[in-house]
Chains A and B, each alone.
Chain A
Amino acid sequence: EPEVTQTPSHQVTQMGQEVILRCVPISNHLYFYWYRQILGQKVEFLVSFYNNEISEKSEIFDDQFSVERPDGSNFTLKIRSTKLEDSAMYFCASSEGTSNQPQHFGDGTRLSIL
């Protein structure tokens, strides 16, 4: 069964450094997403991406965040200057369509900011 893959599985970074989290969505999917989950809290939406542009973003997704689809397969999340509160599990997801289509999640990148 096709799956969403994410790398790395765990990223440890010093506060203030830039990080790039990588995702390879399912190949025939057109919509891509990033979510995060702070330990003990619920999964929160960050951003959705379609047709090479952001289609929606949450209030969490401020100027420190950016997303990119640099080629036909990768989808990246960049955090420019990390803060301690950015420590969380980051999940990439993809779907064939939007709204009523289920989203399939990668197994996540655990980001630890020191």
Chain B
Amino acid sequence: ETGVTQSPTHLIKTRGQQVTLRCSSQSGHNTVSWYQQALGQGPQFIFQYYREEENGRGNFPPRFSGLQFPNYSSELNVNALELDDSALYLCASNHLPRGLAGERNEQFFGPGTRLTVL
């Protein structure tokens, strides 16, 4: 059983550019959540995808968008990059029963993608 993987590991972009980050969920998981973690801060919830549809969103602007594919892998896209977008982007997967978050539903996190915006 493979865990959550993310690519790339590190990325450097310039202000105004667009970036796509990728996440492969753990085998058997149908839900992917994305988090942004600025240096010295706790992770902040961006959004969650459940069975290819957005299933909740945090306080992030529309230039943060995502996709989930039939194999439950996911992409995070950020348009018009700003300096403050520099952060560690974490992907987490878990399995949700239809329509409910459930009690435990431990989220399994990947190692993250470190994005630097210059």
A, B from the same assembly: no
Interface residues of B (CB under 8 A from A): none
